[in-house]
């Protein structure tokens, strides 16, 4: 059996760009009226990659900014935003339940161990938002932070539909279909689960 330990590697980078620990914070909404992305300059960092994947405006990265102003990316933004509406309501209810039932028992959650969770950081954070560290374990390939600006724009934009497909069931109904996720991500520039984790952090308000 494949060892799940390599999946721990992305957690260090998620510590740097993850959501701030505000247990009672509101689940962020995506403004569906914002129909344009402004041009930006500079070099993108890991936060910008996460924002790009999540369908949110980047703060740095001229190449990413140009791609965000295409019709292809507008479709990604629209579909991701629509899916997030389902997720936002579900997370709100989960956090209300956690506040009433778990918060008195978990004043200091420390480390959350989530075996067989794959890249499901979204719901681990919703259930136990005050944890300092999340250890997610799964058999999916880790992948890496994609160097989006070093790739041809058409390749990056072509990777977005399979990326949405791989993550759509989590956003709409709350879980991943592992077989579909592997097939969709292994055929594109967004390989492994690291891009999913980055997108999750950006959607959750990181």
Contacts of residue 71, Cβ cutoff 8 Å, sequence gap at least 6 = none
pLDDT for residue 105: 75
- Nearest alpha-carbon partner for 67 in 153, 148, 146, 147: 153
- Predicted structure pTM score: 0.77
Cα–Cα nearest to 66, from 158, 198, 154 = 154
pLDDT at 13: 40
pLDDT-based confidence at residue 182 (cuts at 50, 70, 90): low
Does the structure show a pLDDT above 60 at 104?
yes
CA distances in angstroms from 48 to 60, 61, 92, listed in the order given = 6, 7, 26
* pLDDT over 90 at 110, yes or no: no
| Spatial contact of 84 and 203, defined as CB atoms under 8 Å apart | yes
In whole angstroms, give the CA distance from residue 11 to residue 135: 7
**Secondary structure (DSSP) of 90-157:** HHHHHHHHHHHHTTTT-S---EEEETT-TT-HHHHHHHSTT-SEEEE--SS-------GGGS-HHHHH
Residue 76 confidence (pLDDT) above 70: yes
pLDDT for 1 equals 37
**116-140 pLDDT, tens per residue?**
777 788 888 888 888 888 888 887 7
Q: Stretch 141-167: mean pLDDT, rounded?
A: 90
**Predicted confidence (pLDDT) per residue in 40-50, tens digit:** 999 999 999 99
Per-residue pLDDT reduced to its tens digit, 54-70: 999 999 999 999 999 99
Cα separation, 40 vs 59, in Å, equals: 6
| Mean pLDDT along residues 6-12 | 41
- pLDDT for 175 equals 66
Q: What is the dihedral of CA 187, 120, 151, 182, to 10 degrees?
A: -10
Consecutive H or E run containing 113: strand 111-114
């Amino acid at each position: 059996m494949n060892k799940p330990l390599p999946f721990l590697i992305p957690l260090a980078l998620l510590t740097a760009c993850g959501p701030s620990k505000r247990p009672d914070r509101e689940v962020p909404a995506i403004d569906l009226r914002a129909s344009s992305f402004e041009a930006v300059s500079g070099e993108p960092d890991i936060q910008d990659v996460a924002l790009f994947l999540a369908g949110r405006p980047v703060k740095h990265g001229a190449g990413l900014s140009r791609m965000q102003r295409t019709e292809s990316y507008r479709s990604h933004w629209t579909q991701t935003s629509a899916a997030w509406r389902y997720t936002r309501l579900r997370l709100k209810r989960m956090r209300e339940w956690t506040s009433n039932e778990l918060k008195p028992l978990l004043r200091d959650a420390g480390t959350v161990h989530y075996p067989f969770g794959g890249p499901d950081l979204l719901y681990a954070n919703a259930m136990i938002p005050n944890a300092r560290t999340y250890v997610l374990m799964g058999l999916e390939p880790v992948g890496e932070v994609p160097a989006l600006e070093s790739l041809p724009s058409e390749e990056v934009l072509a990777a977005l539909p399979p990326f949405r497909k791989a993550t759509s069931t989590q956003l709409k109904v709350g879980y991943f279909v592992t077989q579909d996720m592997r097939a969709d991500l292994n055929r594109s520039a967004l390989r492994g689960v690291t891009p999913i984790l980055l997108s999750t952090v950006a959607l959750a308000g990181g």
